[in-house]
């Protein structure tokens, strides 16, 4: 697969030599943004953002410093005081207009995501579709945000719960969902009456600038400036300040378990609220009665899609021993057929784009070598992909675990952010579920079966089935609709975002007792006379 070789050299100037990129930047307002430079900048206040398909610079982005964060935080508090007084349905109208703006910019933003993080075209666009979807969801919510009326034990009293705006929400996002994760937070926060300050990954600042710009321009044009804010800086200078800042009652952080441990501790120390969406090590079980065609297609997408860089990527596969030989043979064939589909993510024929950077390739190589040392057998892949480009491409890799009791393959217990699938076989369903659950993370899981009993065992109401936040039947681990609550257990952090009642994280609950009896009556029958 050939990748366009017309990009600039690293030391020279910019991306604008990349075919069509300069007009893309202009359509998204990036060429007019004071933070963005298309010519090389040096010094600690500038970060280079790279196209992972070419290893070449896309642009240089000016980093915020402590004083910039301080200004944003104090202005955000003022913006919040105004925004919370706007009725929720009117806040919803602003989010509706933002959703419409993202509809209009879907193709351009999707392309920017392909350039900056290497997602294939349909996945880049799919990510912007998630923004449109969550905006629609939030608009509906803006006319609900329902509280409860509860029966009071005291005559002539009313007991209610109401939900109130929370404050300034800090949003920290990972590189692999450079737009949607922010929108999940920002749209719900906005209808809840909150202001967001977004700190994106330094691996994807252009997408953040473009997205925040759209939201801010729409809100400002409707008379509400400052509701959507952006700070771009290093973890030391900006990230640490943000998580320690008491003016931000909620920090919603998406990223690695390592990051979540740090954020969780700092926020807990100031008794703030954190919403953590962290790493996954997701498994798929293929039972003996599974529809193998369906299981095959779902496993391949789950393991290889987004080049294995989704939190919900399928990383471990448990196949029943009766179907294992045939199923693994089909997997091998499917993986081999992918070798011609690796390349430029903007090419319609491509299914597998690059890893995010050179370090990610090294981590991939380390995991493959560890798996070999631990007795794993590489059936397909295992190395860098051969393309004509200088980007960070690796081969989709299938590794069978050693056939030993307990199948010791410790590397499979770790999340390596790359397209590596470790394959195990099992005899009993209970064993498969136990081994699926035997990792630190608890994000997504799935089983393929035609049996109602097997499916119900996996989803058992006793809680002894899958221990993950997401448990699917005949549907792979990767990807989710916005309507359900998204998140995972154990080291995945326990947070829930997006649909269902996730909005409650962005509001504070108030319990109110209204006495219309004209008499003092104390709860629990206490007398004080
Ligand atoms: P990362 O942990 O390296 O970085 C994530 C974000 O945290 C970045 O914005 C980074 O700058 C910030 N950060 C790191 N240390 C910080 C600190 N001390 N203070 C404040 N901010 C800090 O993760 P990544 O490599 O960008 O993303 C990949 C990881 O994210 C994977 O583990 C993946 O599973 C996870 N992820 C989880 C979900 C989910 O919803 N569960 C979604 C996407 C990605």
Pocket test for ligand 1, best of 171, 198, 244, 255 (most atoms within 8 A of CB): 255
Dist. CA 267 → ligand 1 center (Å): 16
From the list 350, 258, 255, 351, the residue with the least C-alpha distance to 308 is 351
- Inform me whether the pLDDT recorded for 481 exceeds 60: yes
DSSP per-residue codes, 82-125: HHTTS-HHHHHHHHHHHHHHHHHTHHHHHHHHHHHH---HHHHH
- At residue 199, the 3 state secondary structure works out as strand
Q: Which residue among the candidates 277, 395, 415, 497 is catalytic per the annotation?
A: 277
Cα–Cα dist 16/324, whole Å = 50
**What is the pLDDT averaged over residues 138-155?**
98
From the list 299, 334, 519, 522, the residue with the least C-alpha distance to 423 is 299
Predicted structure pTM score: 0.96
pLDDT tens-place string over residues 193-238: 999 999 999 999 999 999 999 999 999 999 999 999 999 999 999 9
pLDDT tens-place string over residues 305-332: 999 999 999 999 999 999 999 999 999 9
**What is the pLDDT averaged over residues 381-407?**
87
Dist. CA 150 → ligand 1 center (Å): 40
Atom 10, ligand 1: residue with shortest CA distance: 201
Dist. CA 172 → ligand 1 center (Å): 7
pLDDT tens-place string over residues 406-450: 557 999 999 999 999 999 999 999 999 999 999 999 999 999 999
- Inform me whether the pLDDT recorded for 10 exceeds 70: no
- Inform me whether the pLDDT recorded for 11 exceeds 50: no
State which ligand 1 atom lies nearest to the alpha carbon of 203.
Answer: 26
The answer to whether the CB of 229 falls within 8 A of the CB of 247 is no
- Inform me whether the pLDDT recorded for 404 exceeds 90: no
Handedness of CA 340, 346, 351, 353 (dihedral sign): positive
- Inform me whether the pLDDT recorded for 132 exceeds 70: yes
| Percent over 90 (pLDDT), the chain | 93
Cα–Cα dist 512/140, whole Å = 25
Name every protein residue with a CB atom under 6 angstroms from any ligand 1 atom.
172-177, 199-201, 235, 239-240, 243, 254-256, 259, 262-263, 277-280, 311, 415, 417, 443, 488, 492
Dist. CA 524 → ligand 1 center (Å): 48
Pocket test for ligand 1, best of 208, 256, 262 (most atoms within 8 A of CB): 256
The answer to whether the CB of 238 falls within 8 A of the CB of 56 is no
pLDDT tens-place string over residues 178-188: 999 999 999 99
Mean pLDDT over each residue of the chain, to the nearest integer:
95
Pocket test for ligand 1, best of 254, 310, 361, 490 (most atoms within 8 A of CB): 254
pLDDT tens-place string over residues 264-288: 999 999 999 999 999 999 999 999 9
* 277 noted as active-site residue: yes
Atom 37, ligand 1: residue with shortest CA distance: 278
Check residue 1 and give its pLDDT: 29
Is 381 or 16 the better-scoring residue by pLDDT?
Answer: 381
From the list 419, 327, 341, the residue with the least C-alpha distance to 380 is 419
The answer to whether the CB of 211 falls within 8 A of the CB of 179 is yes
* 311 noted as active-site residue: yes
- Inform me whether the pLDDT recorded for 160 exceeds 60: yes
Atom 28, ligand 1: residue with shortest CA distance: 255
Check residue 5 and give its pLDDT: 34
Dist. CA 182 → ligand 1 center (Å): 12
Q: Which residue among the candidates 311, 395, 468, 497 is catalytic per the annotation?
A: 311
Cα atoms found within 13 Å of the Cα of residue 512, Cβ hemisphere only: 13
113: which residues sit within 8 A by CB, 6+ positions away? 119, 123, 124, 127, 128, 178, 179, 204, 207
- Inform me whether the pLDDT recorded for 4 exceeds 80: no
How far apart, in Å, do the first and last CA atoms of the chain sit?
87
pLDDT tens-place string over residues 360-390: 999 999 999 999 999 999 999 999 998 767 8
DSSP per-residue codes, 420-460: EEEEEEES-HHHHHHHHH-SSEESEEEEE-S-HHHHHHHT-
**What is the pLDDT averaged over residues 446-456?**
98
Check residue 479 and give its pLDDT: 83
- Inform me whether the pLDDT recorded for 22 exceeds 90: no
Dist. CA 430 → ligand 1 center (Å): 33
Which ranges in 17-65 belong to alpha helices (H)?
21-27
The answer to whether the CB of 178 falls within 8 A of the CB of 201 is yes
């Amino acid at each position: 697969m050939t990748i366009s070789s017309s990009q600039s050299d690293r030391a020279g100037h910019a991306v604008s030599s990349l075919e069509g990129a300069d007009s893309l930047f202009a359509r998204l307002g990036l060429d007019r943004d004071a933070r963005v430079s298309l010519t090389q900048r040096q010094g600690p206040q500038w970060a280079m953002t790279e196209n992972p398909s070419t290893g070449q610079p896309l642009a240089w982005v000016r980093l915020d410093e402590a004083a910039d964060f301080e200004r944003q935080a104090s202005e955000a508090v003022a913006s919040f005081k105004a925004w919370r007084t706007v009725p929720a349905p009117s806040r919803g109208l602003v989010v509706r207009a933002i959703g419409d703006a993202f509809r209009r910019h879907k193709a351009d933003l999707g392309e920017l995501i392909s350039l900056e993080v290497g997602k294939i075209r349909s996945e880049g666009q799919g990510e912007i579709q998630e923004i449109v979807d969550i905006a629609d969801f939030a608009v509906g919510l803006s006319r609900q945000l329902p509280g409860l009326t509860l029966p009071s034990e005291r005559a002539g009293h009313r007991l209610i719960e109401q939900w109130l705006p929370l404050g300034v929400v800090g949003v920290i996002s990972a590189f692999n969902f450079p737009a949607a994760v922010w929108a999940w937070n920002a749209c719900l926060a906005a209808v809840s009456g909150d202001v967001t300050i977004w700190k994106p990954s330094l691996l994807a600042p252009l997408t953040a600038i473009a997205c925040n710009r759209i939201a801010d321009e729409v809100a400002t044009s409707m008379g509400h400036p400052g509701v959507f804010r952006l700070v771009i800086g290093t973890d030391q200078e900006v990230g640490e300040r943000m998580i320690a800042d008491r003016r931000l009652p909620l920090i919603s952080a998406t990223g690695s378990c390592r990051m979540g441990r740090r954020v969780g501790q700092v926020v807990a120390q100031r008794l703030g609220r954190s919403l953590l969406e962290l790493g996954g090590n997701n498994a798929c079980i293929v039972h003996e009665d599974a529809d193998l065609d369906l299981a095959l297609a779902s496993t391949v997408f789950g393991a290889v899609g987004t080049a294995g860089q989704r939190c919900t990527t399928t990383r471990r596969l448990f196949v029943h021993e009766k179907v294992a030989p045939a199923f693994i043979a089909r997997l091998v064939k499917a993986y081999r057929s992918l070798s011609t589909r690796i390349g430029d993510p903007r090419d319609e024929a491509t299914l597998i784009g690059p890893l995010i950077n050179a370090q990610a390739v090294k981590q991939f190589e380390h995991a493959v070598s560890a798996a070999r040392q631990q007795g794993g057998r590489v059936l397909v892949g295992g190395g860098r992909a051969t393309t004509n480009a200088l980007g960070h491409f690796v081969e989709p890799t299938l590794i069978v675990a050693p056939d030993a009791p307990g199948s010791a393959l410790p590397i499979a217990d770790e999340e390596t952010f790359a397209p590596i699938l470790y394959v195990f076989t099992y005899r009993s369903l209970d064993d498969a579920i136990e081994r699926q659950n035997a990792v630190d993370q608890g994000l997504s899981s799935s089983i393929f079966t035609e049996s109602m009993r097997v499916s119900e065992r996996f989803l058992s109401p006793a809680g002894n089935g899958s221990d993950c936040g997401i448990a699917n039947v005949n549907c792979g681990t990767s990807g989710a609709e916005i309507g359900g609550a998204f998140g995972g257990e154990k080291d995945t952090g326990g947070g829930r975002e997006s649909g269902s009642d996730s909005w409650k994280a962005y509001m504070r609950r108030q319990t109110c007792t209204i006495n219309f009896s004209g008499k003092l009556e104390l709860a629990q029958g206490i007398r004080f006379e």
